[in-house]
Amino acid sequence: MTFTDLFDGSTLNGWRAIPRVYGAEYPGGPDISETLTRLGLEPPVEPEKHPAVWAVEDGVVVGRQGTPGYGGYLITEKAYGDFELVIEVKPDWPADTGVMLRRRPDSWEGFQVLVDHRRSGSIGGFFGNGLASFHAVPFALDLERDQDGNGTGLREDDPASSQEPLTPAKRRLLSYAAEVDDFLRVWRWDDWNELRVLCVGGALPTITTWVNDLEIAELNTAAIDVPNYDPARIAELLGARGHIALEVHDNDAVFGESRWGPGAACRWRNARIRELS
């Protein structure tokens, strides 16, 4: 089976923009906005009215916040089963983005491959949107700065000052986890990086990620052990086929502009997919 291009280089044909709206925390659970309110955090107000802005610029797909603070997704029109995806990414700092797999077309649930290019973020790990918010990551990152405060690259996050600490429990969710020093050797600062994702196993797939040919993480979604994660209900909800989506995150009350900086963008190119089922 051969790879098929997902971008035509000049339009967003085959994709559609949707707002970043929320839903249940987990199948059958409360709406996440209720939880945010209970914790004293302000949920997004009418996010459906503030979609992200997606454009093709010089052959590159670019995602930005439309209204500052609000996010969105660019989702494939087509649903996919098992597949191998290769895509190049170039995010600004800070820009919290990612690639969603098995994404529902009309609700927010799906498995996310993280490209959290921001303080305490992780690249190549995983998050469960509407799937009990599991957070399975091999390492956490921060910005290396020069003496003038300008970003020069990535470094390991300092646990003492982390906004979102890496815990042993997060790393234990992975059946494979790269070491942060190996990742830092291959990541190209302020340049294009190749993300490869293998998603196989139907409604509860095993997902493996590589960055610039370095294996980063592997997750067996049938074996995740966190509160409210019910594999049977998740398999029923997601099914064996789903959409792929690119993310522009919103800015929440916890991270603010350290999640997505003013005027920041994420760029995507050379997306191609090899369908396996």
Question: Is residue 217 within 8 Å of 126, Cβ to Cβ?
Answer: yes
The number of distinct structural domains making up the chain is: 1
pLDDT tens for the chain, residues 1 to 277: 799 999 999 999 999 999 999 999 999 999 988 888 887 778 888 999 999 999 999 999 999 999 999 999 999 999 999 999 999 999 999 999 999 999 999 899 999 999 999 999 999 999 999 999 999 999 999 999 999 999 999 999 999 999 999 999 999 999 999 999 999 999 999 999 999 999 999 999 999 999 999 999 999 999 999 999 999 999 999 999 999 999 999 998 889 999 999 999 999 999 999 999 9
**Dihedral angle over CA of 140, 255, 153, 217, nearest 10:** 30
pLDDT in the model for residue 40: 78
| Entry pTM | 0.97
Phi-psi region of 218 (alpha: psi -120 to 50; beta: other; left: phi over 0): beta
| Residue bearing tokens 């502009």 | 257
DSSP symbol at 12: -
- 106: CATH: 2.60.120.560
Segments forming the whole domain that contains residue 129 = 4-275
> What is the rounded end-to-end Cα distance, in angstroms, of the chain?
10
| Number of CB atoms found within 10 A of residue 46's CB | 9
